[in-house]
Each structure stands twice: as structure tokens, then as C-alpha cells.
Amino acid sequence: MNVFDSHFHIINPNYPLVPNNGYLPPVFTVQNYREKVQEFGVTGGVIVSGSFQQFEQQYLIDALHILGKSYFGVANIPMEMQERELEKLHAANIRAVRFNLRRGGSEHLSNMVALANKLFDRFGWHSELYVDSKTLVNLRKILHQIPAFSIDHLGLSRDGLSELYYWVEKGAKIKATGF
């Protein structure tokens, strides 16, 4: 059986971590991850940058290198990141940009459309949104301008379920993570 883990975080204490709203996650290294999933037949997955990692990328590059080519990354990327750095991330198997609209730690909403389109056009990356589904209705105009995106953690709230369904009908992927 092949299992693909669509969303997990690596928390490597050798790289900077920044408390977000007072939250700092416990350590969870590549070795910890391997131990947790060894019985499930996981053959690939997606490491997602958390708000507490802000724009740090080296931990993600290193983790992807250790885990191998069947693992991919989702990074928090600032608008002003240089082209050579973006190419380095793409070469490391990073395939999406994350926008944390709930807690911050990623690029600001005002730059989301420009950055999402730039990365989609240049590398084919999708955008991943950490957003409370009950706020999606207020983001419709913006989200209609983004070519491909997914929504983390089932949209975080049952209150916005109808809006989540709206975006599913439009082709957005919803990650069933963080129950």
C-alpha cells in the first residue's frame, strides 16, 4: 500500500523559530516523522511551512533532501525573494507557496494575487491557504484571481462550510488535516 501524507510540519530546533501569538510548537524532526509514520506505508508527502518558521527555508530544503524526491514542500515566501532563491526552492522540490491568513507569518494578503500568479506562471506552483472558511466569502474577489489553490485544515471552521463547498466546485482542493 502506498500512502501520501498531504500535510505535515517539521520542527527542527537547529533553525530559527518565532513564536506566533505566543505559540511555539514542540520539536518534530525528520527522524520523529519517520518513526510516527513507519507502520502506515507512507511513501511520499508534503512538508508545510508553519507561521512560526516565517520565511526560513533552509530547514525545509534540508528536510526534503533527507526524505527524498517523493516529498514536496510548501514554503512561506516573501514577495521580494530573488529569482535565484526561487529557483533554488523549486530545485529542492518546493511546489507551493503558503499564505497564512489566520495567524500571519507569511506574505501579506495585499501581495497574495501578485505573488501567487508570479509563482504559478514561472514554476506552476499552487497557493495554499491557512484560512478560516467563514472569512472566505470576503475573499472571493481576490481568490478568483488566483489560478490554483488549496485550503488547509478543512477551512478550520464548520461555520464556513457552504463557502468551502463553493470553492470545491470551482476546483480548489481542501486538505483534510488537523481534525
Going residue by residue through the chain, which has 179 residues, state the pLDDT in tens, using 9 for 90 and above.
788 999 999 999 999 999 888 889 999 999 999 999 999 999 999 999 988 888 989 999 999 999 999 999 999 999 999 999 999 999 999 999 999 888 777 778 899 999 999 999 999 999 999 999 999 999 999 999 999 999 998 778 888 889 999 989 999 998 887 65
Whether 179 is covered by a domain: the verdict is: no
Per-residue pLDDT at 65: 98
Whether 14 is covered by a domain: the verdict is: yes
Q: Which residues contact residue 106 at a Cβ distance below 8 angstroms, ignoring those fewer than 6 apart?
A: 49, 51, 54, 76, 77, 98, 99, 100, 130
Q: Are 104 and 78 in contact (CB under 8 A)?
A: no
Helices then strands, each counted (H, E), the chain: 6, 7
Per-residue pLDDT at 178: 62
Whether 170 is covered by a domain: the verdict is: yes
Per-residue pLDDT at 115: 97
**Which CATH number do you get for residue 14?**
3.20.20.140
3-state helix, strand, coil in the chain (%, to 5): 40, 20, 35
Per-residue pLDDT at 22: 85
Q: How far apart are CA 53 and CA 59, in angstroms?
A: 9
Per-residue pLDDT at 123: 98
Number of domains in the chain: 1
Whether 49 is covered by a domain: the verdict is: yes
Per-residue pLDDT at 157: 85
Spatial CA neighbour of 176 closest among 161, 147, 155, 148: 155
Whether 17 is covered by a domain: the verdict is: yes
Per-residue pLDDT at 81: 95
Find the domain containing 27 and state its range. Answer: 3-174
Question: For residue 18, how far is the Cα from the chain centroid?
Answer: 17
Per-residue pLDDT at 179: 52
Whether 75 is covered by a domain: the verdict is: yes
Whether 31 is covered by a domain: the verdict is: yes
Whether 74 is covered by a domain: the verdict is: yes
